[in-house]
C-alpha cells in the first residue's frame, strides 16, 4: 500500500509568515531546528539571499540563543547589541536589519523552529507586534502538535493493518482498531489543512477496510465524511452530546448527520445503522 507522507511542515511556517506580513511586519523569516541546529528556510520581505539556508549554532546569534533558552528574545539595534554573539553580522547587516524579534516554536517537548520578525530601523517593537509574533508562534506550535498526534495515530493504525490475522481478530484487538478509527476521524474533521485531512481520512479508511474480507464488493451506500465521522463515534457508544463534544459540533448538527446516515443505510435505530455501516465496510 502506498505510504501516506506527512505534508511539508515548511508550509505551516510559510502560512505564519504570510499572516505576519498581512499584520504589517515588513520582514519575517523562519528556520527549522534539527539536532539543535537552526537553519533559516522561509522568508518574507527580504531583499538579499544572504540569510537563505544559514545555519545557526546553539547559543549563537539571536536565534541560537532562543533555541537554547526556549523563550522569546529581541534586540533593538542588532549591530550594537551586547546580549547576543555576532557570528552572523555579515548576512544580517547586509539585509539591513536592525530591530529583530525571535520566538521559539515548541512542540513535543523541544524547540522545532524559530519565527523572526524584523525592522530595518532601530525602533522598539510595540506590544501589538510582540503579541502578533507570539500568537503566530503559538499557532504554528499547535499545528506541529496536531501533526505529531496524527503521525502517532497513523503509526498505530499502520501497525494494526500490518499484522492482520488470518483468523478473525480478537475482541480486544477489534475494539482497539475501532477506537483508533474513531479517533482518527475526529482528528481529521478538525483539521484545516486539506492535504493533511485527506491523509488522515485515508488512514481511517484503511482501518475500516480491515473489517472486510478479500473480494468484498465496494460499498453500495455512500456516506459523507461528516456522516461517517458521527457514526464512528456512535459505534463506540457515544451519546449525541458526547459526539458533539468530540467533533466540536452542535447537538442539533450531530442529530441531523446521524438521521441522514440512518436514512441512507435504511436503518431504524443507531445500533442498526452501525451494523449496516460495518457490513458495507464504512466502519471497522
Q: Which residues of the chain have pLDDT under 70?
A: 1-7, 156-173, 210-219
> So what's the pLDDT on residue 128?
87
Predicted TM-score (pTM) of the model is 0.63
Q: What percentage of the chain reaches a pLDDT higher than 90?
A: 48
Which listed CATH number (3.30.450.40, 3.40.50.2000, 3.40.50.1370, 3.40.50.1970) goes with 10-146?
Answer: 3.30.450.40
Q: Report the CATH fold assignment for 164-279.
A: Arc Repressor Mutant, subunit A (1.10.10)
Distance CA 52, CA 34 (A): 16
Helix, strand, or coil here: 103?
strand
What pLDDT shows up at residue 5?
Answer: 55
CA dihedral in degrees (94, 100, 101, 104; nearest 10)? 20
Q: Can you give the residue ranges of every domain in the chain?
A: 10-146, 164-279
pLDDT digits (tens, 9 = 90+) for 221-239: 889 989 999 998 888 888 8
**Cα(35)–Cα(30) distance, rounded to whole angstroms?**
17
Amino acid at each position: 500500500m502506498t505510504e501516506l507522507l506527512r505534508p511539508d511542515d515548511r508550509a505551516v511556517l510559510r502560512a505564519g509568515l504570510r499572516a505576519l506580513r498581512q499584520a504589517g511586519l515588513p520582514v519575517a523569516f523562519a528556520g527549522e531546528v534539527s539536532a539543535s541546529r537552526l537553519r533559516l528556510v522561509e522568508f518574507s520581505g527580504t531583499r538579499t539571499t544572504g540569510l537563505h539556508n544559514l545555519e545557526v549554532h546553539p547559543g549563537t546569534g539571536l536565534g541560537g540563543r532562543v533555541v537554547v533558552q526556549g523563550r522569546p528574545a529581541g534586540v533593538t539595534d542588532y549591530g550594537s547589541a551586547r546580549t547576543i554573539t555576532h557570528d552572523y553580522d555579515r548576512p544580517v547587516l547586509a539585509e539591513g536589519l536592525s530591530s529583530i524579534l525571535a520566538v521559539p516554536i515548541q512542540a513535543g517537548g523541544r524547540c522545532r523552529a524559530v519565527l523572526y520578525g524584523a525592522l530595518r530601523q532601530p525602533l522598539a517593537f510595540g506590544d501589538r507586534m510582540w503579541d502578533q509574533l507570539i500568537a503566530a508562534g503559538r499557532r504554528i506550535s499547535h499545528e506541529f502538535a496536531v501533526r505529531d498526534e496524527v503521525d502517532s495515530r497513523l503509526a498505530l493504525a499502520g501497525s494494526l493493518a500490518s499484522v492482520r490475522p488470518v483468523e478473525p481478530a480478537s475482541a480486544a484487538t477489534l475494539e482497539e482498531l475501532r477506537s483508533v478509527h474513531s479517533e482518527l476521524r475526529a482528528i481529521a474533521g478538525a483539521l484545516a489543512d486539506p492535504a493533511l485531512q485527506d491523509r488522515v481520512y485515508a488512514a481511517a479508511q484503511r482501518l475500516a477496510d480491515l473489517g472486510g474480507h478479500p473480494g468484498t464488493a465496494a460499498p453500495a451506500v455512500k456516506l459523507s465524511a461528516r456522516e461517517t465521522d458521527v457514526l464512528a463515534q456512535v459505534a463506540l457508544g457515544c451519546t449525541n452530546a458526547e459526539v458533539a463534544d468530540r467533533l466540536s459540533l452542535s447537538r442539533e448538527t450531530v442529530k441531523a448527520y446521524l438521521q441522514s446516515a440512518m436514512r441512507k443505510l435504511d436503518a431504524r435505530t443507531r445500533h442498526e445503522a452501525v451494523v449496516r455501516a460495518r457490513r458495507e465496510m464504512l466502519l471497522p
